[in-house]
Amino acid sequence: MRLPAPLSFVARLRAALGTEAAALRQAFAALLVSSGGDLLAGVTLAGITGRLEELPGLIILIPAAIGMRGNIYGALGSRLGTAIHTGQFSLSRRRETLVGQNIWASGVLTLVIAVAMAFAARAVAGIFGNDSISVADFVVISVLGGVLSSVIVLGVTLGVATLAVRRSWDMDNVAAPLVTASGDMVTLPSLVLASLLVGLTGVTVVVAVLCVIAAVVALVLAWRAEHAVLRRIVRESVPVLLVASAIDIAAGVTIEQQLDHLIAYPALLVLVPPFLEDTGALGGVLSSRLSSKLHLGIIEPTARPQRAARIDFALILLLAVPVFVLLAVSADIVAWVFGMASPGPLRMVAIALGGGLVSTFVAMVVAYYGAIVTVRLGLDPDNHGVPLLTSTLDLVGALSLIGAITLLAAT
């Protein structure tokens, strides 16, 4: 007896996802851990409103700085996941090894992109006619905050990869949520700590100049390095990370335009970091899984997604709904505990779920077609997929979140 079409679809979906039960459990657990950590980042953001007012323009840099930790080290996690799948992973920091070259490349990218973001943030603030701190202040905060947080995020990334090998986890399912969450948790405090050097006569300018010189030297040496993997990662990643930085800066401008509204309801500020992280993490999981399947030949870079890719889409959608609902409820509870004003749990759920589902659908399109275009151009999707996707989702997520807030505020 043939089942009705809707029931037949559900049956096929259940059969397909039955083989992905472990992936669902691993990814959902990682997302829950990352969401909990990001709520701490949200509380930190809601608690530094005074500092944001003292340092005008800093809010423009924050999404980009947080996003870059996820972009650089999420891509590192994706490359390590591929190395694990292909049997090339061996933990070592020696520059000639695969992992060692990845570590050095990530360090160079951290320094170079932090300087670029600082100049971009100051330029954007000037274009929009906003009051802001100086470019030297931006450089010091971006570079020192970025380097400090990157040391911790690098350790987390390597630790997750090692555990993935020992416990037979799929790195593609857990790397993006855990790595980006660690970046969110440590980046904001690191930026605030680095901002203490702002305003010190003479010191800020000298430190900024040294940071720029170090970034230029590191880029030149890595661009011409004798080690092929290091050279390729830097050459392929710098252009895409610059584009990603520009997108993240746009996300920062979007949030800054609504800063007064967000300050009025600090619960929404609590929601911002975990919301942006979860949209990026869901997209990162999808991008990493698609990249590994392209490397292994499980899917082909075709215009119409093949069955294995469509199963990944369904898995991400199944994760998205409970993640965003729990995130909204948790943010509202945290705001209540800390005595922060909130628009209410129902509105929080509507904002998070509405904006989250829009971002998730965008993630599917960007992740899949970004990966196949990268492969067709002869590039490595592990170097491009996560940065482009997470940055795009930072902007789309910010627009979706602000749009949902504005829509509900009007009702």
When pLDDT is averaged across residues 129-143 and rounded to a whole number, the result is 85
Tell me, what DSSP letter sits at residue 97? S
Query: Has residue 1 got a pLDDT over 50?
Result: no
Query: Has residue 16 got a pLDDT over 60?
Result: no
Percentage with pLDDT > 90 across the chain: 11
Q: What is the pLDDT of residue 411?
A: 57
How far apart are alpha carbons 350 and 329 in whole angstroms?
10
How far apart are alpha carbons 119 and 264 in whole angstroms?
30
Query: Has residue 150 got a pLDDT over 70?
Result: yes
How far apart are alpha carbons 370 and 373 in whole angstroms?
5
CA angle 267, 272, 276 (to 5 degrees): 155
pLDDT in tens, 209-256: 999 999 999 999 999 988 888 999 999 889 888 887 887 787 777 776
Structure tokens at 28: 């959902």
CA angle 92, 23, 273 (to 5 degrees): 75
Q: What is the pLDDT of residue 212?
A: 95
Asked whether the beta carbons of 148 and 197 are under 8 A apart, the reply is: no
Q: What is the pLDDT of residue 115?
A: 94
How far apart are alpha carbons 352 and 346 in whole angstroms?
10
pTM of this structure: 0.69
Query: Has residue 268 got a pLDDT over 60?
Result: yes
pLDDT in tens, 355-384: 888 888 888 888 888 888 888 887 776 666
Query: Has residue 35 got a pLDDT over 90?
Result: no
Q: What is the pLDDT of residue 310?
A: 85
Asked whether the beta carbons of 362 and 390 are under 8 A apart, the reply is: no
**Separate counts of helices (H) and strands (E) for the chain:** 14, 0
Asked whether the beta carbons of 301 and 376 are under 8 A apart, the reply is: yes
* Weakest mean pLDDT among 6-10, 128-132, 287-291, 344-348: 6-10
pLDDT in tens, 156-194: 888 888 888 888 777 766 766 677 777 777 887 888 888
How far apart are alpha carbons 114 and 245 in whole angstroms?
9
Domain span at 308: 5-409
Residue 293 burial (C-beta neighbours within 10 Å; 0-12, 13-18, 19+): buried
Percentage with pLDDT > 70 across the chain: 79
Structure tokens at 87: 């049997």
What's the number of domains the chain is made of?
Answer: 1
Asked whether the beta carbons of 65 and 71 are under 8 A apart, the reply is: no
Asked whether the beta carbons of 314 and 13 are under 8 A apart, the reply is: yes
Query: Has residue 10 got a pLDDT over 90?
Result: no
